[in-house]
Chain A
Amino acid sequence: MGRQLQFEIFRYNPQKKGDVPHMQTFTLDETPNMTLFIALNRLREEQDSSLMFDFCCRAGICGACAMVINGRPGLACQTKTKDQPSRITLHPLPIFKLVGDLAVDTGVWFREMYAKTESWVHTTKQFDPKRQEERMDNEVAEQIYELERCIECGCCVAACGTARLRDDFMGAAGLNRIARFVVDPRDERTDKQYFEIIGNDHGIFGCMGLLACEDVCPKKLPLQNQLGFLRRKMGITAIKEIFRKK
């Protein structure tokens, strides 16, 4: 016989007139290998059809189901109930706009980030379908992929002290995005161009170094390393600029 789980879930539907944010309690019998994906779907199908939350791949690959689980941002699909106390509190991610209950709008935030970072390979080369591909070192390819593994779940942003203080902070996800292009030899942008995007307080110099982003990243991305790498690179760029002006 499994445990009886008690779920404390944040409820608020902004589209519903007169609705006020509140916590609601649900109980559910735990079953073997139960994840929050299984539990939340059961709650919606069996107890309250109006419950709002997002899941997509339910396999930890897409990042849709990030929420605050017992006070910590994480992916609900890969959270096994057996690793949690019998009382589980669920909140939506902060920073992002609330869609309803546990569902937030990460899409708009990340699209704005792509625009800010100009998240694409900047090259003057034209693609020629008749030619062999340009060569690349396999290690470089793997290095790029390491940084491209971000699933945009928003956990790092939700856990970030600076992001709570200032709306325009790019967050670890945004800075990691820039790092991805910095290591990519196909991108012809110069350090000075990157400096213009991130060499300020809403970029690389806004980070307070609290390290929460890396702590909560479900893909275990080396977010603080990247931040350090960029900060050093941008610091050097800044000094060079000062001397050039003289």
Chain B
Amino acid sequence: MQTYYSDLLVIGAGLAGERVACEAAQSGFKTTCLSIVPARRSHSSAAQGGMQAALGNCAKGEGDCCDIHFIDTVKGSDWGCDQEVARLFADAAPIEMRRLAHWGVPWNRVVPGQSFYFKGGEKFEKYEKEEKEGLITARSFGGTAKWRTCYTSDGTGHAVMCTMDNRCAELGIDVFDKKEAISLIHDGKTCMGAVVRCLRTGQLEVFLAKATAICTGGFGRIYKATTNAVICDGGGHIIAHETGLVPIGNPESIQFHPTGIVPTDILVTEGCRGDGGTLLDVNEERFMHIYEPDKAELASRDVVSRWMTHHMRQGKGVKTPYGEHLWLDIRHLGDHHISTKLREVDEICHHFLGVDPRKELIPVRPTQHYTMAGIRTNKDGAAYGLEGLYSAGEAACWDMHGFNRLGGNSLAETVVAGGIIGSKIVEFLQGYETRFDTRTVNLAVKKQEERIHDLIHGRKGKLNVYQVRNELQEALMKGCFVFRNQEGLEECVETLQKTLEKSRKVGLVSDGIGANYELGAAMKLEGQVRLGLCIAQAALQRTESRGSHNREDYPERNDKDWLNRTLAYWPEGADMPELSYEDTTSVFELPPGDRGYGGGTIIPADEKYVKERTVKSPVTEIGKKK
């Protein structure tokens, strides 16, 4: 058995993983990264829009500061986030963007003088100041008070990913691709690394480390319609969750994006609407301004997704063989804008739809997009339940997003959290020694060898992997999508319980030899159904509407009973998750209030409870400390 050893093992080499790795390697620790695909293919590279940081350089970002970014983030989370974490994030983001510039990211810069921008289809003028020339500029994104989203044309994720991967190469970090972690090695208290399947040969390998960080992104692929890459299948969550010790935080908190194209669900960036694109219905009429007079198309994603679904329910959707959809219109932005600032969108339209967005409308509908849910960690990024285990990025519920993540905050989180959590891991590693128990390691490997043997030989059953996976995906689309209610969720839980049984009885059709894909899919299937059950059960229990979690039968946000975070554990051998709850945040810098969009009523929290936890100098609405 090939065994590798390092101080830090990072599972997942997207932006969060590589940023964590850089921090440890810079401090002299031997660091290894694992990735299912070559690092630059990570889903981070698909993020087009940008990264939020309150630099305040551009004209429409003037006066921006970390306080306002903090307020936007907390409001966006619908008061579901940990405010200490949101504060850490907002304060560190500008420094991290500058660091990325130093490392090589070609951020777009301020160009002085007059220029134009679109909002809600109307053309406006702005003047950039001479003295700001050449500083990092920003664009507008939904749900923010200022223009704060730093970007590199429409390939921000790709550009930052290239720079980060270059930085890893410079620091000599071992980044192994085509390696998939299939279980954690632990003794019930401490994490020692992972059992890994090589996706070149199919061989099992052991990676031992003093600390392990899971940075594997989201798990959108358990939904049928998702904007996520095919690798975002929950692999990292599953290996943490199946220890029985590590909970999934807020599993019901899943974000849907308003503009997945039909039928392939490829995302077209929010930048389309940020730059002035509009949504149209079957009559080619705008509708968002009816529901959200102020922000219209620029309202928060969950709000836009909901109104789109609502509008289609009113019979205003475009009917096609793939179901109903609406239109995104960017025709008025013009050839120059579309060919430069929205080039990826242009390419997507041509390559996957055969549509020219200069002349034609783009078919869109809400699609699963982001998992605020994740491996629950404390503010240092340390996972609950196992010493030496960390998580960062979309994989984690760190929890700065609460129940709704703002556009541009996810890509920013990957590097900002990666930096913060990386430095906490360095603190952990300094002076830390451990012992690796070979018996524990051998048992962990043996267990995986047996699983593989059983699957290949159909020892537990011969159900088809893809059919069972399809059942899971369909059930979640039906019961746990944009709108949720008691009846639908109960049915979903019931269906998924049956699916769980089936997932334990799958067997391979193929021989499973080498880099066999079916085996990989079979190995994570039961874990995926468990994640699905966590979502459905947590959503069923949470009898309120908050952020992206929208209960038709409980439309109020209920701060009195639900100002808390769900923790979903899966004890070994169980058939259902065990849910418990913790306070959303231990301190309020911004006491619960109206999030400023999306309407809805709020059942207020106990005044005494809020007062006791509110810090002495809370930020006010305008963003200045009192």
Q: Are A134 and B202 in contact (CB under 8 A)?
A: no
A106 proximal to B (CB < 8 A):
yes
Q: Are B514 and A59 in contact (CB under 8 A)?
A: no
Q: Whole-angstrom distance between the alpha carbons of A110 and B264 in the complex? A: 29
Give how many A-B residue pairs fall within 8 Å (CB-CB).
196
* Partner pick for B41 among A57, A99, A138, CB 8 A cutoff: A57
Q: Are B46 and A33 in contact (CB under 8 A)?
A: no
Against B, the Cβ 8 Å flags (1 = close, 0 = not) of A43-67 are: 0110011111011111111111000
Q: Are B108 and A44 in contact (CB under 8 A)?
A: no
A226 proximal to B (CB < 8 A):
no
Chain B stretch 143-158: residues in CB contact (< 8 A) with chain A? 152-153, 155, 158
B351 proximal to A (CB < 8 A):
yes
Number of interface residues of A (CB under 8 A): 66
B101 proximal to A (CB < 8 A):
yes
Q: Given A138-B111, A142-B153, does the pair A57, B43 have CB atoms closer than 8 Å? A: yes
How close is A112's CB to chain B, nearest CB, in angstroms?
11
B518 proximal to A (CB < 8 A):
yes
Q: Are A60 and B166 in contact (CB under 8 A)?
A: no
B509 proximal to A (CB < 8 A):
yes
Q: Which residues of B contact A (CB under 8 A)?
A: 37-38, 40-43, 45-46, 95, 97-99, 101-104, 106-111, 133-137, 152-153, 155, 158-159, 162, 165-167, 169-170, 175, 177-178, 199-202, 229-231, 263-264, 266-267, 321, 344, 347-348, 351-354, 465-466, 508-511, 513-518
A192 proximal to B (CB < 8 A):
no
Chain A stretch 5-41: residues in CB contact (< 8 A) with chain B? 13-16, 32-33, 35, 37-38
Contacts of A58 in B (CB 8 A): 229-230, 264, 266
Most B-side CB within 10 Å, residue of A50, A51, A62? A62
* Partner pick for B99 among A111, A129, A151, CB 8 A cutoff: A129
Q: Are B153 and A145 in contact (CB under 8 A)?
A: yes
How close is B365's CB to chain A, nearest CB, in angstroms?
15
A215 proximal to B (CB < 8 A):
no
| Chain A interface mostly | loop
Contacts of B263 in A (CB 8 A): 33
How close is B319's CB to chain A, nearest CB, in angstroms?
15
Q: Which residue of B lies closest to A137 (CB)?
A: B134
Q: Are B102 and A127 in contact (CB under 8 A)?
A: yes
Q: Are A120 and B170 in contact (CB under 8 A)?
A: yes
Q: Are B103 and A35 in contact (CB under 8 A)?
A: no
Contacts of B231 in A (CB 8 A): 56
Q: Which residue of B lies closest to A144 (CB)?
A: B106
Q: Are B109 and A49 in contact (CB under 8 A)?
A: no
Q: Are B178 and A16 in contact (CB under 8 A)?
A: no
Q: Whole-angstrom distance between the alpha carbons of A127 and B46 in the complex? A: 27
Q: Given A59-B46, A60-B347, A145-B155, does the pair A100, B514 have CB atoms closer than 8 Å? A: yes
How close is A122's CB to chain B, nearest CB, in angstroms?
9
Q: Given A64-B37, A114-B166, A132-B98, does the pair A57, B45 have CB atoms closer than 8 Å? A: yes
Q: Are B511 and A138 in contact (CB under 8 A)?
A: no
Contacts of A106 in B (CB 8 A): 38
A103 proximal to B (CB < 8 A):
yes
Q: Are A135 and B41 in contact (CB under 8 A)?
A: no
How close is A116's CB to chain B, nearest CB, in angstroms?
11
Most A-side CB within 10 Å, residue of B97, B135, B352? B352
Q: Whole-angstrom distance between the alpha carbons of A59 and B352 in the complex? A: 8
* Partner pick for A35 among B108, B170, B264, CB 8 A cutoff: B264
A202 proximal to B (CB < 8 A):
no
Q: Which residue of B lies closest to A119 (CB)?
A: B166
A188 proximal to B (CB < 8 A):
no
Contacts of B321 in A (CB 8 A): 32
Contacts of B170 in A (CB 8 A): 118, 120
Q: Whole-angstrom distance between the alpha carbons of A46 and B254 in the complex? A: 30
Q: Whole-angstrom distance between the alpha carbons of A133 and B110 in the complex? A: 12
